[in-house]
Structure 1
Amino acid sequence: MTKTSPRRFGLFAATAAVFALAGAGGGWWYASQRAAGTAGDDAALEASLANAGINGKERAAIEGLVRAYILEHPEVLPEAMERLQAREAEARIAPMRGALETPFPGAVLGNPNGKVTLVEFTDFACTYCRQSVKALETLVAKNPDLRVVVRELPIIAPESAPAARMALAAAAQGKYPAYHKAMFEGARPSDASIAAAAGAAGLDMTAASAFAARPDVEEELKRNLDMARQLGINGTPAWIVGGRIVHGAVPPEELQSAIDAARKG
């Protein structure tokens, strides 16, 4: 039987503690992926362990300590998974953040020159988006430095797309906020409700109808759909602020917390 030195056992314990506290969720994910034969970094992991002078038996001891810790403290798993998901969200957002926070010209609520940007993916046919309007108004009133970039994501109903195209036409005329408000205060999207919202916003209907039919408007909607897919967003509303994604109609306090964190970051 091979004896383990106190110093080496200390390494095991320290490593186990680090894995359990900082990466329990990641360790569970890795184990499940490896069991399924899908982990792609086995060679790198083995090399790292070899460089650290950790052999197979020692590795088994470390894994045993990690497993024992997790079984004794299963409460670390939800927190670890939340951290893992947050890191994955940050990694997805980072390379596309510039494009994500660059609005279709005029499709902005709040302060157009605000230092903190909140991105919302929305659909005029979405009940939860409608319910979120008051929360968003509260956030805009409370945060004078908040710029809200609205990305139209017409995925719920066939009538969502013409409503979204008219919204971009309203943005082109500098009347996006008024149209956005009127659409969500009126009936679900239809030819009649779209026309009513456009009239309430004071749009030049001839110009708006021509603009809504432009190819670049359709390209914008496709771009928004592509961004949503890359971010793992499959419903509305969805919010991005800083490196965080928030799904659904959440209380304004949750979005405020994310805004505060982005402001500090």
Structure 2
Amino acid sequence: MLLCNTKNNAKTHELLNFLQANARVPFGKLLVLCKLLKKGNCVKFTNLLTVGALTASLVSPAIMAADTNNTTPMSEAQKKDIEKIVHDYLVANPEVLLEASQALQQKQQQNMQQQAQSAIKDNTDQLFQGKTTIVGNPKGNVTIVEFFDYQCIHCKKMSPIIDNLVKKDSDLRIIYKEFPIFGKSSETASRAALAAGMQGKYQAMHNALITMDKRLNDQIIMSTAKSLGLDMKKLKTDMQSKEVTAALDANRELAEKLHLMGTPAFIIASTPNGEFKTGTEPSFIPGAASEESLQELIKKAAGNS
């Protein structure tokens, strides 16, 4: 939790009062803390290891410098007193730590969304243009971009959901971004799918790999490609081509800009006639989602088309 704006936070008041009543420390130090809190400064309690955070802030150089009314440094005994008081307070009020964790998580999610929105708007050409990895309506007014890995369990679970959305909505376009993060076999699978796309069979290869109910390896991947009637000699050559390598490198660069921590991840945007609509705000989902929630975001994007 971020204990900010003291006047609006009863827990902060309670803690400061508790410190004032029990700490054998100069009152000026506590007064400085109150002033800093009222100015919007925050004390972060993120987990049990942060029990001493408030103590550290009380004796930090910033507060020492700000305390012009009392220049006497704290003794070690006084520091230990405050540590014990903060510890006892948090033990007596464990909900503070839960609130801390929840607020921190919410703040991190907000930051992630802000970073993602900025990255999306700066990279619309790369995100919303695809050569061989487009499924659905190539000129769809709504586009879903999915970053995925063929060995990602959650990506596999999302596959039938995406298929259903495409079947229900003839105006929907899907752009798959191969983002292999689960080892060598994932890399091989992505290269094989992109190479299959160079023979006009990306969707067939993608569907075969993403619905595979066993762990992938080179033999399974090549056998799958062969079963689809692909030219195996060309496939193997194309898998190591500059085009395929460049596509994977570009996807990794995009994922880094979006600060993706895993797969799947989705971007839903308004793309009238297949072009990103400037001035609209895409939806960003860093993880799996229900079909219903995706439908709502598709509806929102369609309204902006």
- TM-score scaled by length of structure 2: 0.59
Is 1:172 aligned to 2:198, yes or no? yes
Q: 1:199 to 1:32 in 2, by over 3 A?
A: farther
In the alignment, structure 2 segments of 5+ residues that lack a partner are: 1-7, 9-39, 44-56, 61-98, 270-281
**What SS is found at the alignment partner of 1:181?**
helix
Q: Answer whether contact 2:146 2:267 (CA < 8 A) is retained.
A: yes
Partner of 1:256: 295
Partner of 2:238: 211
Partner of 1:190: 217
CA distance in 2, matches of 1:143, 1:232: 30
**What SS is found at the alignment partner of 1:140?**
helix
Higher helix share: 1
Is 1:159 aligned to 2:195, yes or no? no
How do residues 58-69 of structure 1 correspond to structure 2 at under 5 angstroms? none
Q: 1:198 to 1:262 in 2, by over 3 A?
A: same
Q: Answer whether contact 1:111 1:146 (CA < 8 A) is retained.
A: yes
Is 1:237 aligned to 2:259, yes or no? no
Q: Answer whether contact 1:89 1:244 (CA < 8 A) is retained.
A: no
**What SS is found at the alignment partner of 2:144?**
strand
CA distance in 2, matches of 1:193, 1:172: 20
Is 1:107 aligned to 2:146, yes or no? no
How many residue pairs match? The answer is 201
Alignment root-mean-square deviation, CA: 3.0
**What SS is found at the alignment partner of 2:135?**
strand
Which amino acid letter does the alignment assign opposite residue 203 of structure 1? Answer: L
Among 152, 163, 168, the alignment partner of 1:137 is 163
Larger Rg: 2
Partner of 1:146: 172
In the alignment, structure 1 segments of 5+ residues that lack a partner are: 1-15, 17-29, 37-73
Among 114, 118, 123, the alignment partner of 1:91 is 118
Is 1:226 aligned to 2:265, yes or no? no
Q: Answer whether contact 2:146 2:264 (CA < 8 A) is retained.
A: yes
CA distance in 2, matches of 1:113, 1:208: 28
Is 1:120 aligned to 2:146, yes or no? yes
CA distance in 2, matches of 1:249, 1:257: 15
Percent of paired sites with the same residue: 32
Residue by residue over 1:11-63, the C-alpha shift from the partner in whole angstroms, topping out at 9 and shown as x without a partner, is: xxxxx9xxxxxxxxxxxxx8449x99xxxxxxxxxxxxxxxxxxxxxxxxxxx
- TM-score scaled by length of structure 1: 0.67
